[in-house]
Amino acid sequence: MNNSEETLYSIGDVAHRTGLSVSAIRYYADEGLVHPTDATDGGHRLYDVDAIARLEFVRTLRDLETSLDQVRRVLTGTSSLRDVLAEHLDVIEKRATDMQAKRAVLRALVRQDGTAERANLLRKLVTMPDAERQRLVDDFLADVSAGLPEPAIERIREVFPVLPPDPAPEQLDAWVSLAELLRDDRFREATRSYLHATYAEFPGSEMSTPHVQEFINSAGTDLMPKLMAAHQAGFAADGAQAVALAAQLVEQLAQTFAVAADDDLRLRLAARYRDLDGLTLAALQDAEYNATEGRYLELVSIINDQPHPDAALLDSARRERSDGDGPGFRDFGQWLSDAILAAR
């Protein structure tokens, strides 16, 4: 034994100080990672504070699941600590991605039938390359929108799922659910039927005509937000600002449809807008909408980590007049109807 004045510690003391087992300390010595500083005359291993610090460092790296080879490279100076940790981080991230994929598959299997065939399918959906994922969505959208007016097709195609490179668990879950639906012939048929009834038949077909779209894309995009802002701000329907905006709306509609901006037009518009609240709320709460287009939009919004396209409208439509949070969409149609009539 070396008779140095430096304090040396027995392997039992080292185990207590580092939290490592005695067998682990011996193993690291046998692997050439941290050798004992000295030994007693009886052959018992002794360690100084530097050796203990190295053992604590080894434990930290091993707790992070770095390999013995990586630990050895750091201790010998072959690789820097930063390089080894970056290398190991890449391994951990890939493992986390794989675990998320497995989690999404297991959750989907638990929700429904957990057959071997379906497990294989779900695994393929989770690991699907981006190009194949886009082809699946493109094929679905082309199928369900066939025969619709062009403005309706553009609206539907505006909402496209884009799974990020490192999706959160809920995004991956949503993609699995959506991918299954996109491959489901019954969902395709139901969505195709709903979209056709909504956008290709009256009154949806009228909304898709060129002159209506011209209004929506010109005056409508400017005036309607102003009218809704005035409504939300609590301006009276017969107040000067609301009446002036309503008058502009009537004039623009008259120009778009090439008709006179007379009382007959105002009365017809007032009647239409008076029914707007109930029609909009009914459409957004429709079971067929929620099972088809609404379900697609809901899942895409989760995947893209963006608000549901119709969420704000539905939330506003459901809001009661007396909820203390200002007027909601439920009042807007009646308010606009009154403003149009006040503009006569």
For residue range 132-162, list pLDDT tens digits in order: 888 999 999 999 999 888 877 887 888 899 8
Q: What is the pLDDT of residue 203?
A: 44
CB 126 within 8 A of CB 172: yes
pLDDT of residue 285: 66
Instruction: Out of 9-13, 76-80, 161-165, give the one with best mean pLDDT.
Output: 9-13
What pLDDT, on the 0 to 100 scale, is given for residue 10?
94
Per-residue model confidence as pLDDT tens digits over 52-104:
999 999 998 888 888 899 999 988 888 888 888 888 888 777 777 666 666 66
Delimit the domains of the chain by residue range. 9-79, 102-196, 209-344
pTM: 0.48
Instruction: Identify the residue with better confidence: 318 or 339.
Output: 339
Please say whether the beta carbons of 181 and 187 come within 8 A.
yes
| Ramachandran assignment for 152, one of left (phi > 0), alpha (psi -120 to 50 degrees), beta (any other) | alpha
Q: What CATH number is given for 9-79 in this structure?
A: 1.10.1660.10
How far is it, in rounded angstroms, from Cα 145 to Cα 157? 9
224 versus 87: which is more confidently predicted?
A: 87
Q: In whole angstroms, what is the distance from residue 303 CA to residue 260 CA?
A: 47
Handedness of CA 287, 291, 294, 299 (dihedral sign): positive
Our CA dihedral for 52, 55, 59, 60, rounded to 10 degrees, sits at 70
223, 252 contact by CB (below 8 A): yes
| 131 CB burial (10 A radius; 0-12, 13-18, 19+) | exposed
- Looking from the CA of 223 toward its CB, the CA atoms found within 13 Å total 20
- Token reading at 49: 């504070």
